[in-house]
Structure 1
Amino acid sequence: MGDFRPVANGLRTDHPVPGLPFINDERLPLDNPDAIERTGRDRGEGLWGRTDPLPGDGWVAFTTEPKNRAYAWAVHYHPEHGRTVVLVTDASWSGLHHDWVYSHTGFLYRHGGYWWDGTAWHRPGVVFDGAYERYDARPVRDALTITAADLLVHPADPGKAAVATIAGFTAHKTALPNWRDHLALWAEHHRRLPDARPLDECVVDLKAPELEPGLLVDRAGLAKIANIPEDDLPDPKYEDHKMPEPQAHGAGGPLWSQPVARDWAEQHHRAQGPGALLSATTSFGTPQPQGLVADHNRLTKVIQGDGKQTEEAAKTLAWWPAVSLTVGPNSLIPMSALRTTLIEAVLSHLATGVQKGRTGIWLGTLRRDVVEIFDWYVQRKPDHTANLLSEICLDAHTRLNVDPETVGKIIRRSLHLDSKLGEKTIDALLDMALPPSAKPSES
């Protein structure tokens, strides 16, 4: 979930966000998404609105609030699970729109992006699955859904709460301390609505062992889980967007659940790990991709072979020719074109098997020449390995209807047969770089 946390609940929402005030939304035509859109769209400078259908007859609608243009209303309607009405900052509603419409991450978000799709709770989208172009959906273990009915079992006094109005509203910096009283007042209004949703179907929150405060980890703990120095984490001042949204904040800063930290570590190593795995040390003592080091060493020998250059001079003379072979947009070997050719070679092999009616591992292993090109490419562009494998799996899925796990098995078996990288390196590389859906299913 992006940085579009709600700042208030609409009074007619079915699923209140804990800690947030309730605002009178009676002017909002909640049963008419087009009318919600027209509330703000083209009504004046700084006003906007939008609505989109969802699969299964649901819809989403957004509008800038005309009486308080710093904020926008966001409405999600689900034919089975009712409606969610929240207020967000006007600058951030497009992010919520993207997640509701395109991200396949449910429609209720709690605890820094934990999401509910009407059936189960999942962890925040952290590990991207390029084979399906979406984040991998990872269920929360032993998750317990907390409803409004659950919370209102405990004593609450609606007389100590109030419904806010949108004009002049300013978002609170902290959660309301007596929020259960506000929930009780909401419940009184909710019961009077036509076809009011039962309170035991109004989802408010989740509880799970991994979200217990004492088990959350800070930056140091996340770095330990990722097995990297804390200084190697993204800089909180300039690269905070590269970290997952925290589940809470403590005196020392953001806190994450351990499963979210492990997901981040997996995604980090998927992107950064191949470069470290397939690196070597140049004759100058610096780390570079294995292939570049091999090219440099080979050219050094060629230059020194005429006997006119010292070893040190040959090293220096060989460096830029070695770099120019594969580095940069004008490299002597067109790496982008080679990558495309490699992808098409794999897909051509799979297509041949599909045309013959074969499935699964019976699609057969890749030709040795294709494996050789794969070796050569990833040794020189190791940081591109994850994207390369994701595109192969995506195209195999969309063009040939071959599932990613089958593609992953074929690539692994082919590399084991003909790759010069070595079995341990192959397994380490594929374990890191294959998209989640292309890895072996857990038993």
Structure 2
Amino acid sequence: MPPDFSERLLRGLYSALLVVLAPVTVYHLIWRGFRQPAYFQRWNERYGFYGVEPRQTPVWVHAVSVGEVNAAAPLINALLARDPARRLLVTTITPTGSERVRALWGNRVEHVYLPYDLSGAVRRFLAHFRPGIGLIVETELWPNLLFCCRDAGIPTAIVNARLSARSLRGYRVLRPLVGRALRTVDTVATQSSDDGRRFVKLGALRERVFDTGNLKYDITIDEAAVAALSAEFVARAGTRPVWIAASTHPGEEAIVIDLHRRLRTRWPDLLLIWAPRHPERFRGAAQLAVEAGWRVATRAMTTWPDAGDDVFVLDTLGELGAFFACADVAFVGGSLQDIGGHNLLEPAAVGVPVVTGPHLQNFTDIARQLGKAGALRIGADADAVHEHLAQLLGDADARAAMAEAGRALVEAGRGALQRTLALIEDDLPAPDTTTARIRSAPFGV
């Protein structure tokens, strides 16, 4: 259906505003570049310019950063396995997302940054890669991107779709435009029925929204590799209690220092594995630990901690999942600040009890299921988190029960991958193998 006058008006106003604000994107790249130098590179891609000849890429997956890349990994692996010769494009927005794509798939996929949502940049991107289908991971609702895909005849699906109540409120100003853009999407495969209802409320067509479950449950674990890494860790660090603080944000760093100090009054040889969320904080976290009076090792510099180290900073990308298995208990950050939390299933999948703060709006359904299964403890504040960590470090039976519950929940939650593949099967270009088309019934709203 061609765009009507109101759509053209809304798109015109939105696009004009973006053009006016375009210089801000340059300042943003420069500002981020001083913190993470990779932002100084590949600017041409962010505006839809490429220094090579146009080439067709039948399948395109967009995952904004590391978390979304990890969530999409089961789907991308399945697409590659179905047709190893298929050309597949993965776009991200952040350099850390780009690095994660390269770490997981190397040259098996092509990677560029998704351009800013400027009409011209988006059209150049689509004309250059000519995707046969666009798979957008979780919550990347860029109006011009969706409209331009519709105009170019490219079917789109939002997979592992997530929309929190707060995000829905955040779209209040742009809701008339975003709602129209959502109605161009062929399939919305949501993590939960609650997410589905919110997508419909925002503007998605009810008959195109399906509750497929969360792809994060379909995580694949190399048990042998994890066991080997854990054994080497113990051989180097010694047999002693270990906790991990994962995906922490700057506002949580002082809390981590305080938690470690308090826990070490009871377990003097306690080792902290510390994995800050953002690479630019790797060095800062290590410095904070040194200033606290502790001996610090880092993955990049020393590879392993030894028996005399108090803190081990995991300053590499892509290894967090395996290092969870080296800890007796895990704290997952982004939850003691109003960030919304991070992936709680990674530690649960390798059998590690999980402790988190109260701000979990990005993982409401997962947190609810883990809590109901007895695999998660939520602290209302830093003191409560300390109490949970201390209780678990001192109770091996409680840790074992939580570990078993977490593993069982992850195993029971699998299936989103096959349901998602079944939904998009008809739009996938010329696969070598076929997947039975089993569409889950649309939920009622």
Q: TM-score higher than 0.5 here?
A: no
Larger Rg: 1
Structure that is richer in helix per residue: 2
